[in-house]
Structure 1
Amino acid sequence: MEQNKEKIRHILQYYYDKGKNASQAANKICAVYRPDTVSISTAQRFRSGAEVVEDAPRSGRPVVENCDKIAELVERDRHSRSRSIGQELDMSHQTVINHLKKLGVTKKLDVWVPHELTRKNIFDRIDACESLLNRNKIDPFLKSMVTGDEKWVTYDNVRRKTVVVERGEAAQMVAKPGLTDRKVLLCVWWDWQGIIHYELLPYGQTLNSDLYCQQLDRLKTALMQKRPSLINRGRIAFHQDNARPHTSLVTRQKLRELGWEVLVHPPYSPDLAPSDYHLFLSMANALGSLKFATRESCEN
């Protein structure tokens, strides 16, 4: 915590009254607070009379008032630009930046989401999360959960790189990989112990309800081999997102035949799907900069 300058000066005066020199006083203060709370040179200037205990009155708007006004503008519009704030409050751009740092705020790009949630979507998310949390407290199910999803894997995985440039020089322009790159669709199912079953679809093949139901049969076979305890207990909590092949009438009938309980998943919620926020993110990081010549090398 940054200490008040006037408070530090009072403590320095206390140590000087006790006969301590500048080095001893500074070391004692830094030992109590932070190593950089006060420097020996500052302590020496204070003892020589270059600084006084009380801060001298300064002209201009008080710092606290500035911070409060900036905080009010930021709270009113989170997309406020620092230069616009400076113009409105008659402050320099750097002063606004300094005050924003003191307030502990920073600029970040908006996060793109696949769909702007309606009020109903938001409450559905809350209801789903509360339901799953409360259920897990009464009947822990996470070790019985099997989840899965699909993801396109490209043969050429380009990672953006940082580049050192001179001050004022523009960053290097690099073309973003096109949508026509060679790629393969990965279908994968996993649980807390690891991957249970995966498939790479043939080039040009898309996922539909019929294929998905066939995959569920193959997933059941893999579960019997790798997780027989789940099959024997008849206790599988199955999690999937709301993609059309996952929620079609044919698929729902298939899941009832399998006897798997399907966990609730609110629409437009990739941040609540373990495959999206955990498995695929880790996989993308691992595949960064890798290039595959064939489907076989991609699968390996």
Structure 2
Amino acid sequence: MELPLNATAKCEVCAVIRFLNAKGVKPVEIHRQLTEVYGQSCMDVKNVRKWCREFTAGRTEIHNEQRSGRPSISDETVTKVEENMCEDRRITLDALCILAPEVSRSTIHRILTEKLQYRKVCARWVPRMLIEHHKWQRVDSSCEFLCHYANEKDNFLDSIVTGDKTWVFHFTPETKQQSREWRHSSSSKLRKFKQIQSAGKVMATVFWDRKGVLLVDFKPAGTTINADTYCETLKKLSRAIQNQRRGMLSKGILHVNPRPHVTRQTVALLQNFGWNFITHPPYILDLAPSDYHLFPKLKEQLSGRQFFSDEEVKDEVQHFLKDMPQRLQKCIDRNGDYVEK
């Protein structure tokens, strides 16, 4: 039995189809003869029927028609799309299609992303719009801090006590990021219902230095933070430093608070303690360690958990803050591996 021939070109097979079709051979029989000579992979019966219909309709060409390929984009079209986009940075692709009807929607997207290297992004969220005065305050405060550090090095950092306050709610909903879980493509879609923070809450004021937390002072909801209440908290802080950091007060403590109270009563108390005070500018959330590291981690720990009293909230906050040095030691003991519990 002879081996089937290797069809070197598709036009050869099409020429055979044209010849047999002109003789009145049925497409199924043409396909049988083709596979008998050229093998099973030469052409399927569906394409044989298609070529027979076209040859019967009057086609004489046995080669495939030349395809146009990907349409070229003129420089005029690119300029037109860019000008319309620059006039309105929020313009949609559909709107650009109306302004440039000579090209398709996919072509406009290709012009913006591939040729012009644009991508549509959201604006970055910032707490406040800083005016020039605020910017200069931030620069002056940063320069003052770096000047102290350049002169005193680690002794300066050892003398810093910083503090901030935050609301801790009886219930804080999980974020969308926290609710993610592994799902198969065939699994049913998850639904996350909207939840709100509870009305019950406690204000926690936390003070710490390089060695750890010094004081956690709680205030119930409805408490007005004025000069009197703040001075009471500072007195508690002074006693905590005296008990936990013996000899630290004699060195001249440097008190830094992200949002200091600068009333005469507060300033007089700080002077009485002998604490140096560094001016702190407004709207410095991006530079405050509490807003950058401490409080977001605390809120993440409490998310999705329900507390039924202020005392439960206080106990959990205290447990979280006391557990921080232990978690660092666990990380060291595990040679840097993750600490899950």
TM over 0.5: yes
Give the corresponding residue for 2:241. 223
CA distance in structure 2 between the aligned counterparts of 1:259 and 1:228, rounded to whole angstroms: 15
Give the corresponding residue for 2:193. 174
Give the corresponding residue for 1:195. 213
CA distance in structure 2 between the aligned counterparts of 1:125 and 1:117, rounded to whole angstroms: 10
Alignment of 1:120-199 (within 5 A): 120-140=133-153, 141-160=156-175, 161-162=179-180, 172=191, 174-178=193-197, 181-199=199-217
Give the corresponding residue for 2:264. 249
1:71 Cα offset (Å): 11
From the superposition, tell whether residues 96 and 58 of structure 1 become closer, same or farther in structure 2 (CA, over 3 Å).
closer
Give the corresponding residue for 1:204. 222
Contact 2:84-2:96 at 8 Å conserved across structures: no
Q: In the alignment, residue 263 of structure 1 is paired with which amino acid?
A: I
Give the corresponding residue for 1:42. none
Structure 2 residue aligned with 1:108, among 122, 142, 163?
Answer: 122
From the superposition, tell whether residues 285 and 258 of structure 1 become closer, same or farther in structure 2 (CA, over 3 Å).
same
Q: In the alignment, residue 255 of structure 2 is paired with which amino acid?
A: F
Secondary structure of 1:272's match?
A: coil
Alignment of 1:1-300 (within 5 A): 59-61=72-74, 80-81=90-91, 83=93, 86-87=96-97, 92=106, 94-95=109-110, 98-99=113-114, 103=117, 107-113=121-127, 115-140=128-153, 141-160=156-175, 161-162=179-180, 172=191, 174-178=193-197, 181-234=199-252, 236-242=253-259, 246-300=261-315
Secondary structure of 1:266's match?
A: coil
Q: In the alignment, residue 237 of structure 1 is paired with which amino acid?
A: L
CA distance in structure 1 between the aligned counterparts of 2:133 and 2:112, rounded to whole angstroms: 38
Tell me the number of residue pairs that the alignment of Structure 1 and Structure 2 aligns.
233
Q: Which stretches in structure 1 are left out of the alignment for 5+ residues?
A: 1-55
Contact 1:71-1:103 at 8 Å conserved across structures: no
* Alpha-carbon RMSD: 3.8
CA distance in structure 1 between the aligned counterparts of 2:70 and 2:275, rounded to whole angstroms: 73
CA distance in structure 2 between the aligned counterparts of 1:85 and 1:142, rounded to whole angstroms: 57
CA distance in structure 1 between the aligned counterparts of 2:277 and 2:205, rounded to whole angstroms: 18
After TM superposition, the score normalised by the length of structure 1 is: 0.64
From the superposition, tell whether residues 149 and 84 of structure 1 become closer, same or farther in structure 2 (CA, over 3 Å).
farther
Secondary structure of 2:220's match?
A: coil
Q: In the alignment, residue 293 of structure 2 is paired with which amino acid?
A: H
User: For each residue in 1:57-107, what CA deviation from the matched residue of structure 2 results, as whole angstroms up to 9, or x when unmatched?
Assistant: 972147xx959x869967x98x6355389556766464267439x948562
Contact 1:165-1:171 at 8 Å conserved across structures: no
Q: Which stretches in structure 2 are left out of the alignment for 5+ residues?
A: 1-68, 316-341
1:110 Cα offset (Å): 3.6
Bigger shift: 138-147 or 150-159?
138-147
CA distance in structure 2 between the aligned counterparts of 1:165 and 1:207, rounded to whole angstroms: 51
Secondary structure of 1:107's match?
A: coil
Contact 1:85-1:96 at 8 Å conserved across structures: no
Q: In the alignment, residue 281 of structure 1 is paired with which amino acid?
A: P
CA distance in structure 2 between the aligned counterparts of 1:71 and 1:135, rounded to whole angstroms: 52
CA distance in structure 1 between the aligned counterparts of 2:109 and 2:247, rounded to whole angstroms: 63
From the superposition, tell whether residues 132 and 104 of structure 1 become closer, same or farther in structure 2 (CA, over 3 Å).
farther
1:172 Cα offset (Å): 4.7
Bigger shift: 91-100 or 258-267?
91-100
User: For each residue in 1:247-274, what CA deviation from the matched residue of structure 2 results, as whole angstroms up to 9, or x when unmatched?
Assistant: 2221111111111111221112222222
Contact 2:207-2:216 at 8 Å conserved across structures: yes
1:139 Cα offset (Å): 2.3
Contact 2:164-2:205 at 8 Å conserved across structures: yes
Secondary structure of 2:304's match?
A: coil
